[in-house]
Amino acid sequence: MRDHLPVILFLLPFATAICLPMVGLKAHRWCRPLALVSLLVMFGLAIVNLLLVREHGEQSYGLAGWLPGSDPTLGIEWVNDHLASAMLVAISFLASLCLLYSGSLTPTIGKHRVVPYYTLILLLISALTGIVFAGDIFNVFVFLEVAALSAYALVALAGGRALIAAFRYLILGTLGSTFYLLGVVFFYATTGTLNMAEMYQQFIASPELLHSRAIVGGMTFLFLGLGIKMALFPLHAWLPGAYTRAPDAISPLLAGLMTKVALYGCVRILFWGLAAGKLLEPVPALTLLGGLGMLAALAGSLLALAQQELKRMFAYGGISHIGLILIGVSQTNQTAFAGSMFYLMNDAIMQAGLFFIAGAAILHHGVRTVTDLPRLRQSPWLVAAFIALALSMIGIPPTGGFFGKWHIILGALEAENYLAITAIVVSTLLTMAYFQRLFLRIFGHSEVVPDSAEGSLALPVKLAVGLTAMLVVVLGLCSGPLIGFFRLTASAAGL
């Protein structure tokens, strides 16, 4: 059973997704419970998987029995290690929470779209699982494409103006996939393998290979493609529109997972494929990514400060955090790497939580822009959760956001990269500024315009909002052992 856990984790949402259209033909009220149950079971199995990996160590799975380790590796290898299993717990947890939350919001989607809605969510989750496990760069491409295609359709489900945003996302996302595939071709032509572990061995054996033109070109295309997928600052144009216009129940899922999983893929290829932890040759690429990260951290928070619409503001906040994580990854030491992976998990939860709040605010109070915010006073539950999440976004002690940022800064100090520290601090101040703007609106002196409130919050919405807010605090309180866990992943990455 343990040997087959990775593929079972993938098949659970996938098999449910292909059954749903047929179930939905007869009775579409069964779609939601079925999808929810499969994701909850997946969450349980993901936790079991994490515990097993902690106990028995890394595991590699050869699909169809094509054993990895034969030379050259012909089969498809899935790697189930510490980082992958932790990522999977985050993905399945957020996915089940989003599904729970979406129950009260389905009326906004429309009855005839219920079946595709749940099918696409499950397909998206199974594709993300595939990216997390993939042990070769071509499989990352395949699952990136499946995830992206589901995401385009999910954004477009809202209809109306969302169609334009979805089309823009489609064009830019396809461009990103194409660049990525082109990069894969260069790598394959030079090394003769797609398997990351084998590539790693080759680069360790002959580091001068990393200077060859084909590999440099390949890296450029690869990271350009992934940069579009993870909305790295100058390539972020698709993100704010897509997240703002997507159905309210979809934005949290996309904001929490899509860009983070692309970033995870980038880290995987850098450290497990290009041996960035062991060799000096990939350092220029890391420095460049770190520099772009600084730019993104500053520009993202600056642009967030200028937004009127709540969802758009949070989307830009997410862009700045992608930059922050990249800064941490590019310091090439254990502390910063562990901190940035910890921050990655935190950021997934914070982003999902913020979009949960934004969605509930729109549905129950009609709050879309900053000027509507005083109306949120009618709902103390939302405001309390919002305060906890904002503290974590800014990085104030008892929350997870603080400890992630703190370790990234410590790592940057270790690497004597003072420019990075300045960028992080300035971006933190800017984040504080835009949250202050929001809280001044909520608590400041202004007339409360009664009363567009449509009853009290539904229980699932309360649960989703409350759980995410609690979790950022809990993650902060447990940061010691968690950072220790991510230090293990850093040493697995060769740092």
Judged by the rule CB under 8 A, the positions of this chain that interact with another protein are 4, 7-8, 11, 14-15, 18-22, 25, 61-65
| Distance from C-alpha of 392 to C-alpha of 389, rounded to nearest angstrom | 5
CB nearer to another protein: pick between 14 and 43: 14
Smallest gap from residue 489 Cβ to another protein (A) = 26
Closer to another protein by Cβ: residue 157 or 326: 157
CA dist., res. 87 & res. 429, Å (int): 29
What is the Cα–Cα distance from 325 to 149, expressed in whole angstroms? 26
Tell me how far, at minimum, the Cβ of 25 lies from another protein, in Å.
6
- CA-to-CA distance for 427 and 295, rounded, in angstroms? 10
Cα–Cα distance, 78 to 184 (Å, whole number): 18
Smallest distance from another protein to CB 88, Å: 17
d(CA 314, CA 240): 9
Quick one: CA dihedral 2, 74, 186, 215, positive or negative? Answer: positive
Least spacing, CB of residue 18 vs another protein, in Å: 4
Q: Which is nearer to another protein, 11 or 197 (CB)?
A: 11
Nearer to another protein, 62 or 291 (CB): 62
User: Least distance in Å: CB of 400 to another protein?
Assistant: 35
CA 433/CA 302 separation, integer angstroms? 9
Q: Which of 157, 144, 389 has the alpha carbon at shortest distance from 258?
A: 144
By beta-carbon proximity to another protein, the closer residue of 118 and 434 is 118
**3-class DSSP state of 446:** coil
Of 119, 170, 189, 174, the residue nearest 141 (C-alpha): 174
User: Which CB atom, from 20 or from 155, has the smaller least distance to another protein?
Assistant: 20
Task: Round to whole Å and give the CA distance between 44 and 40.
Answer: 6
Nearer to another protein, 46 or 363 (CB): 46
Instruction: Let me know: does 428 contact 394? Beta carbons within 8 Å.
Output: yes
Cβ of residue 21: shortest distance to another protein, in angstroms? 5
Contact at 8 Å (CB) between 457 and 385? no
> Which of residues 18 and 478 has its CB atom nearest to another protein in the complex?
18
Strands 77-80 and 59-62: what pairing?
A: antiparallel
CB of 275 to another protein, least distance (A): 28
Of the pair 66, 443, the CB lying nearest another protein is at 66
CB 131 to another protein: min, Å: 17
Q: How far is the CB of 29 from another protein (least distance, A)?
A: 18
**Closest residue by Cα to residue 400 from 411, 408, 410, 391:** 391
Q: How many CB atoms lie within 10 A of CB 476?
A: 22
Cβ distance to another protein smaller for residue 24 or 401: 24
Q: Following DSSP, what letter does each residue of 392-436 receive, concatenated? A: HHHT-TTSHHHHHHHHHHHHHHHTT-HHHHHHHHHHHHHHHHHHH
Task: Tell me the residue type at 4.
Answer: H
What does the alpha-carbon distance between residue 1 and residue 48 come to, in Å, rounded to a whole number? 11
Residue 183 near residue 218, CB atoms below 8 Å: yes
Question: Smallest gap, in angstroms, from Cβ of residue 456 to another protein?
Answer: 39
